[in-house]
Amino acid sequence: AQSVTQLGSHVSVSEGALVLLRCNYSSSVPPYLFWYVQYPNQGLQLLLKYTTGATLVKGINGFEAEFKKSETSFHLTKPSAHMSDAAEYFCAVSEGGNDYKLSFGAGTTVTVRA
Amino acid sequence: NAGVTQTPKFRILKIGQSMTLQCTQDMNHNYMYWYRQDPGMGLKLIYYSVGAGITDKGEVPNGYNVSRSTTEDFPLRLELAAPSQTSVYFCASRDRAGEAIQYFGAGTRLSVL
């Protein structure tokens, strides 16, 4: 069984500053890893994913994440925050198999200060 | 490009009432999922389906029922609504192939009073 821990339920950053959202997981098999973003009153939108191959993955809107197997982590970063990055971010893990069920972290809400 | 469509967007129920949350996808995806989202809890899987006629329980199935008679539709039924079912409900779908990416609807916000 897998579990996902997102450190910090709220993160506040200044516009132009680094955004760092932490995600650690536990999984009995090599996982598929995802970051989703949810803007207010909207559904979830995929930011990026790791399945196999290169451990540094780039996503939409300038975000990237690095899969570190030894640390069981998949932290999300963006070098320079923009006001439009204010949203809730979810890390999710799938162990694959026939149903590809996702386990989600509790989410991190990002606010961006002008 | 409709994707995953959920109706209604908002609903208020009285305790003990029943309702069906509708979910339709036009991407011909085999896999469909229902989640509920509660503040500070992330998303929890209620039920899922790997194809028409096949459904299975997720993490929090109690109080809900589903059916999957067609590839496109995956309705979620609440038979006797309880305040604990106040939540935001999301439907998602994914293709059999590909890299396990789930595509989400915009959600249904349900209040049970």
So what's the pLDDT on residue B111?
96
Across B39-47, average pLDDT:
90
What lies within 8 Å, CB to CB, of A70 at 6+ separation is none
Q: Which residue has the higher pLDDT, A50 or A98?
A: A50
Mean pLDDT on A90-106:
83
Residues A44-48: what's their mean pLDDT?
94
For B52-106, write each residue's pLDDT tens digit: 999 999 999 999 999 999 999 999 999 899 999 999 999 999 987 766 789 999 9
Please give the Cα distance from A66 to A55 (Å, whole number).
Answer: 5
Count of pairs with CB atoms under 8 A, one residue in A, one in B? 60
To 10 degrees, the CA torsion angle through B102, B105, B109, B110?
Answer: -70
Identify the CA nearest to A32 among candidates B11, B62, B102: B102
Q: How confident is the model at residue B1 (pLDDT cuts 50, 70, 90)?
A: low
Question: Does residue A89 sit at the B interface (CB-CB below 8 Å)?
Answer: no
- Chain B hits for A94, CB-CB cut-off 8 Å, are 100
Of B48, B106, B107, the CB nearest to A101: B48
Residue to mutate among B102, B103, B108, B109, with most A CBs inside 10 A, is B102
Q: Assess whether pLDDT exceeds 90 at residue B15.
A: yes
Closest CA to B23 of B36, B1, B45, B4: B4
Cis status, amide bond into B61, omega within 30 of 0:
no
pLDDT at A97 over 90: no
Are the Cβ atoms of A99 and B48 closer than 8 angstroms?
A: yes
**Which of A 23-52 lie inside 8 A of B, CB atoms?**
32, 34, 36, 41-46, 49, 51
Percent of chain B with pLDDT over 90: 86
The Cα A109–Cα A111 span in angstroms is 7
**What is residue A44's three-state secondary structure?**
strand
Q: Classify residue A4 by burial, with Cβ atoms within 10 Å: 0-12, 13-18, 19+.
A: buried
